[in-house]
Structure 1
């Protein structure tokens, strides 16, 4: 199920550091208004950011833009070793305030962050350079942790081989009516949900809700519903060996042909071809 994360402050600033040690990474598609910088160590799986789905390896670093649905997913390691994640969540307005009140060195970073649409996947060279510093961030305290974080963020924009995930730029602070509609959609997208139903939840007219989707999401109700369902289906294709008809039914599609059509439109290939190609790429990365 897709949920919305509400992130609190950390050490008096609009940022938070989460350090995780886990046996596996479960699929948990979610979104929040903060940027999210995630370092994954010792895992091999799939990374979902917005409309992008890619396999990742033992050392992976990616940045998610605000309000973009995202999830990592990885099975337990064969050798039983732990998977480590270092997750930094921060708000752009916090960095802008610092830049305008005594730290002008951050202005270029703020400009770079503001133009990110869905997210950024960093190169192996950049990831290997920053991984030790990010992995030790939770061991620092006070001013040392803050200055280390700012130093790490400043290095991100210097990666010439970073891959920017394309997509329409969404408004960083959506209308509250749109938030209510999206939160409801993200809880019920596997079931039959209509635009009229969503408008009632948002306490606005259907026409107004259509306008909010178009203006602030650069999308539509049907496109967002398809995006959520296809992301769910993609995870099932890679994490199970069940048939395509089962995947379709578990992803909210009563009509198999409709599932094939929407999947091919969004992923550029059939569900079977997507499963074969993704697993081939995962095996190649592990060798």
Structure 2
């Protein structure tokens, strides 16, 4: 049962703060288009980000990339103490806009975020340093809260011992054209978005954008679309009982056989097998619960 919840509105900006105090954390695999920075205090359970599953300690800090299925799960403590979560959700396009309109100091942070595939688990030492500032966020209001959030986000890339899920981030000089392209793609990947459209948003040629994907993300436009769409499909497979053909259509695939081919190549099993195994795992760790904090 959720004891109480504080939600801080961004007043027009694409970020928000959720502060939760709970007896336990119920398993609820879900996703959303925002990045999610979650600090967990006093919990002993598991953190699920995509296919990555790891035990969490008394003080845990992780960043989830947009559209990546994820959940935390922890039972009630034997001593009856409450568990606490501080959750910051934010969008890359918001930070890119700030960068372009008077805050160039955020440019390197935007570049760092754009390269993250699934998520980042921060080292225990770094988490202990940042935790007191994160834990107090809900006590702040207005501009003070906004400044604190930006200050905390700017610190994230400094953790050289952080573990990057799925791919190691390569530190490069930031390129605002790639940042704009990635921000646009993360919002529009389910429709027939094209490389030419992204190039127009980024104000560069298609050839230049291809080069930026290859050099700075070690990837390509098509690979990034695939990554985002398959993550969306995984979420639908886990949270609905709808047929595979419906999941494919809702994930941007008009051709069912193409969906099967790409899903199996990336996940290593068919959509049906993925759903079956996920249900077995869910039953072993706890039933999904709508009260689980986002």
Q: How does the TM-score come out when normalised to structure 1?
A: 0.69
Decide whether aligned partners of structure 1 residues 90 and 224 sit closer, same or farther in structure 2, where only a CA change above 3 A counts: farther
> Is 1:158 matched with 2:158?
yes
Structure 1 residue matching 2:160: 3-state secondary structure: coil
Structure 2 residue matching 1:107: 3-state secondary structure: helix
Count of residue correspondences: 229
> Is 1:187 matched with 2:239?
yes
Matched-pair contact (CA < 8 Å) for 1:51–1:227: no
1:135-165 superposed Cα distances (whole Å, 9 cap, x missing partner): 0001001111011001100111000100000
* Residue among 175, 184, 187 paired with 2:190: 175
* Cα distance in 1 for residues equivalent to 2:286 and 2:156: 31
Which residue does the alignment assign to 1:31?
31
* Alpha-carbon offset, residue 134 of structure 1: 0.4
* Alpha-carbon offset, residue 232 of structure 1: 4.0
Which residue does the alignment assign to 1:97?
97
Matched-pair contact (CA < 8 Å) for 1:210–1:220: no
* Cα distance in 2 for residues equivalent to 1:30 and 1:201: 16
* Cα distance in 1 for residues equivalent to 2:142 and 2:251: 41
Decide whether aligned partners of structure 1 residues 200 and 239 sit closer, same or farther in structure 2, where only a CA change above 3 A counts: closer
Which residue does the alignment assign to 2:87?
87
Q: Could you say which structure has the greater relative contact order, defined with CA pairs below 8 angstroms and 6 or more residues apart?
A: 2
Decide whether aligned partners of structure 1 residues 93 and 225 sit closer, same or farther in structure 2, where only a CA change above 3 A counts: farther
Decide whether aligned partners of structure 1 residues 47 and 202 sit closer, same or farther in structure 2, where only a CA change above 3 A counts: closer
Matched-pair contact (CA < 8 Å) for 2:61–2:122: yes
* Cα distance in 1 for residues equivalent to 2:9 and 2:16: 6
Matched-pair contact (CA < 8 Å) for 1:27–1:235: yes
Which residue does the alignment assign to 1:142?
142
* Alpha-carbon offset, residue 66 of structure 1: 0.4
Decide whether aligned partners of structure 1 residues 210 and 27 sit closer, same or farther in structure 2, where only a CA change above 3 A counts: same
User: What does 1:11-26 correspond to in 2, within 5 Å?
Assistant: 11-26=11-26
* Cα distance in 1 for residues equivalent to 2:124 and 2:253: 47
* Alpha-carbon offset, residue 97 of structure 1: 0.5
Decide whether aligned partners of structure 1 residues 9 and 58 sit closer, same or farther in structure 2, where only a CA change above 3 A counts: same
User: What does 1:120-131 correspond to in 2, within 5 Å?
Assistant: 120-131=120-131
Which residue does the alignment assign to 1:58?
58
Decide whether aligned partners of structure 1 residues 110 and 82 sit closer, same or farther in structure 2, where only a CA change above 3 A counts: same
> Is 1:230 matched with 2:277?
yes
- Segments of structure 2 that go 5 or more residues without pairing to the other structure are 1-6, 170-181, 193-228, 288-294
* Alpha-carbon offset, residue 27 of structure 1: 0.3
Decide whether aligned partners of structure 1 residues 51 and 144 sit closer, same or farther in structure 2, where only a CA change above 3 A counts: same
Decide whether aligned partners of structure 1 residues 79 and 219 sit closer, same or farther in structure 2, where only a CA change above 3 A counts: same
> Is 1:210 matched with 2:259?
yes
* Cα distance in 2 for residues equivalent to 1:228 and 1:136: 39
Matched-pair contact (CA < 8 Å) for 2:95–2:106: yes
Give the CA RMSD over aligned residues. Answer: 3.5
* Alpha-carbon offset, residue 12 of structure 1: 1.8
* Alpha-carbon offset, residue 210 of structure 1: 2.4
Bigger Cα displacement from structure 2, 171-180 vs 23-32: 171-180
* Cα distance in 2 for residues equivalent to 1:181 and 1:62: 23
Matched-pair contact (CA < 8 Å) for 1:21–1:85: yes
1:62-117 superposed Cα distances (whole Å, 9 cap, x missing partner): 00000000000000000000000000000000000001110000000000000000
